[in-house]
Amino acid sequence: MKFIFGLLFIIIVSTISDAQIREEVNYYPLSVGNVWQYKVHTKGNFFEGDTTYYLKRTVVSDSIMQNGKKYFKVVPIQPDPSYIFSNYIRIDSATANVYYYNTFANYEGIIDTLAAQPGDSYSVVFSAGNPASPHQFSVVCLQIDTVNLFNTLTDVKKFYIPIVDNKRWYNYAKGIGNIYNKVSIVWIIGYDLIYDLVYAKINGKEYGTFVGVKGNDMIPGSYSLSQNYPNPFNPITKIRYSLPAAGFVSLKVYDLVGQEIHMLVNEEKPAGSFEVSFDGKNLASGVYFYKLSSGSFTQTKKFILMR
């Protein structure tokens, strides 16, 4: 009889324990050592032009905060919706709510709920620094799809934040986490910022293929030469360029008739993104060109010196 009661007790306790952990927490696996790498593409950026690079996020540690709860530190903060709040995140196992922790104000706020079902609309409240002055916006759970992700059929939950000047779409994949983000910035000058997951390491299991070199978390995905800023300029402007691989780089300035007037870069460079300044104080006002060459890549852009 004691054995039977003991067995029943174990079953009941086990059932209660299982009920306390929502299945949906698997949509955002937080564990020290977990890694996500994204291919990031900006489109229509007035200041830098279209760019592509890779960004790695890592759960680097866990800590018990002043409120007595454990949070995971994820760096860098982007790209999921929590990046506008904090890089300290926890998920409540009973509700599947995602919380951030503001270390300056000792304040916890909810940033998402993984338990949301298609059609659900809910409010998220956060405080950037003062808990007495919270901000609020709405989140919509759009749908749940089964997609082929890394050669495995996986449930993906899709969300939308309909902010007027800063619309966001983002997806969580069961067992992997945040796999996609799109932010459309429509304030003043519109452009899109898109994150696509290319690699993940979750609890020791790897998905996809890691891109880049050791020690460099942001490797451009392609060659690019951005439009100088400011343009027109007087007399100094800045030029950005990106290299997906190490190589010899030449960046020269020419006048309207094609005569070289200045050498900005003429050396070996590692993969990465770079910025160089050009001073046109000794030149007359007018139209000039700058040309980037590296490997088989060549691109030329026009800029204007206006005194």
pLDDT score of 273:
82
Task: Encode pLDDT of 22-45 as tens digits.
Answer: 999 999 999 999 999 998 887 765
Task: Encode pLDDT of 121-140 as tens digits.
Answer: 988 766 555 555 666 778 99
Query: Using 50, 70 and 90 to split pLDDT, how confident is the model at 106?
Result: confident
pLDDT score of 124:
79
| Residue predicted with more confidence, 4 or 237 | 237
Q: Which residues pair with 73 in a beta bridge?
A: 61, 88
**How far is 172 from 24, CA to CA, in rounded Å?**
10
Closest by alpha carbon to 53, among 295, 271, 215, 269? 271
Closest by alpha carbon to 195, among 178, 176, 205, 182? 182
Q: Which of 147-156's residues contact partners 24+ apart within 8 Å by CB, and which partners?
A: 147/173, 149/173, 149/176, 149/179, 149/207, 150/207, 150/208
Stated pTM of the model: 0.66
Strand order in the sheet with 272-279: 224-225, 236-243, 272-279
pLDDT score of 6:
46
| Residue predicted with more confidence, 211 or 2 | 211
Tokens coding 249: 């780089």
| Residue predicted with more confidence, 226 or 219 | 226
Rg of the chain over Cα atoms, rounded to whole angstroms, equals 25
**How far is 272 from 260, CA to CA, in rounded Å?**
26
Kindly report which listed range (120-129, 195-204, 273-282, 291-300) carries the lowest average pLDDT score. Answer: 120-129
Residue 6: C-alpha distances to residues 11, 13, 18, 20, 214 (Å) = 9, 11, 18, 21, 54
Rounded to the nearest integer, the mean pLDDT of the chain is: 83
Report the share of the chain in percent with pLDDT over 90. 48
Average pLDDT over residues 270-290: 90
Closest by alpha carbon to 243, among 217, 221, 211? 221
